[in-house]
Amino acid sequence: MSSPARSGEPPTLERKIGPLQATAINMTQMCGIGPFVTIPAMVATMGGPQAMFGWIIGAIVALADGLIWAELGAAMPGAGGTYLYLREAFQYRTGRLMPFLFVWSAVLFIPLIMSTGIIGLVQYLGYLIPGVTDDAGTTPLGKIIGVGITLVIILALFRRIGQISKLTTVLFVIMLVAVLTTIVAAFSHFSAAQAFAFTPGAFSSFGDGTFWGGLGAGLIIAIYDYLGYNTSAYLGGEVRTPGRTLPRSIIFSILGIMGLYFLLQVGVLGSIPLDQLKDAKSVASSVLEQVWGSGTAKAITVLIVIAAIGSVFAGLLGGSRVPFEAARDKVFLPVFGKLHPKLHLPTAGVLTMGAITILGSLFTLTTVINAAVATLVIIQSLAQVAAIVVLRRRQPELRRPYRQWLYPVPTLIALVGWVYIYVSADWLSIGLSLGWIAVGAIAYLVYAKTENTWPFGPREIKEAFATEPEGAQA
């Protein structure tokens, strides 16, 4: 366990996050505003109530991917998560290229995903505050409020990790209350005939039915709503007994959120007519109002907004740690490797990702979701599929407190799922993701030339975790 730095020593990350807090951080980040704003889009995309199966397929992909995170995170617990896994796996052939590209991209896609939380919570504020939204979307007033909320979140992150983990647990409880209350309200006014009135021909031959035609776009929405189960792995350097805590926090959070999402989706389908649901801007508020009246609806909407704030808070908490280890390795800008002298947090990471979140919140929800997910898939998800295979072969003696169940079946499921999700994105998002990575590759070449590393110098092979003493990762 890390201890506070002594006088004259540089500050270090502190291992203060326990199993409950790690799971709470993941679930709070996963279930912020996502399902409350994307259920109508999911139903419209997949052509009707059959959208509920989109959530199930998305959960299968998320769980398969989560088992990759569980093995890699338990074996290599440190700040940044994916950066460490790609550094260890790809150092043998391409030097530091892959970890550099990940950090280069993560500094963009993580805050973009967080900005969708800001966009969504402003939509729900429109139910409480006149003038925040209109038929065209968020008004200038709404955008200003969104920027203000993001600034408050950034300020709230400037505290010790022990205090942050306790605050996240409180936000987790608020999220559970908001979701469970909405589920109870939906099922108290529930019509099974309406919920399961699948569109005729929806499941006809592959590619012809409305379900199959909308599955790709629907999975982008579903996987967006599941994202966040990896947040504890980003915080691996601040988790106690990471070999046990990280796998459990990842798997439990996916299973828990999967159950909540499915109940929420089915409940909403059975309580709001389909033609109204497709155009609903604050679907949870509508469900609550028709069952218990506007007073209760407004009270729970406040909790939903707080839950969304908690999601952005948890996401920026984990994301701000991503460039830290890279900067310490001299693979990214040195300023990202400096910790606050008293609070022991990466100041540059918090401020930079907070600023990008503010910029992303000024765009439309679907545009940001597509661009962020496309970039994430190609440089993180697919890269980690390759990383777990490479590390199994290259470092068979690497201590693995958790080994993926039924390997390589979950890895293959994740591979197929991520490829399908990526090719289902719109061409603009695919083009932007490839363009961003191409620019990153050019930036890497400049860096490699300056540092005299591969391809302009020798590759440095350092199996950092394979040489750790027994028990260091327990």
| Cα 118 from Cα 145, distance rounded (Å) | 9
Q: Are 80 and 324 in contact (CB under 8 A)?
A: yes
Residue with tokens 């801007």: 281
pTM score of the predicted model: 0.90
**In 3D, which of 414, 357, 364, 322 has the Cα closest to residue 63?**
414
| Cα 254 from Cα 232, distance rounded (Å) | 12
pLDDT tens digits in sequence order for the chain, 474 residues long: 444 444 456 678 889 899 999 999 999 989 877 788 888 888 888 888 998 998 899 999 999 999 999 999 999 999 889 999 999 999 999 999 999 999 999 998 899 889 988 988 998 999 899 889 887 678 899 999 999 999 999 999 998 888 888 888 898 999 999 999 999 999 998 999 999 998 887 777 666 667 888 888 889 889 989 999 999 999 999 999 999 999 999 999 999 999 999 999 999 999 998 888 877 778 899 999 989 999 999 999 999 999 899 999 999 999 999 999 899 999 999 999 999 998 888 999 999 999 999 999 988 877 777 778 888 898 899 999 999 999 999 999 999 999 999 999 999 999 999 999 999 988 888 998 899 999 999 999 999 999 999 999 998 899 999 865 444 444
| Cα 323 from Cα 157, distance rounded (Å) | 16
21-451, superfamily in CATH?
Answer: Amino acid/polyamine transporter I (1.20.1740.10)
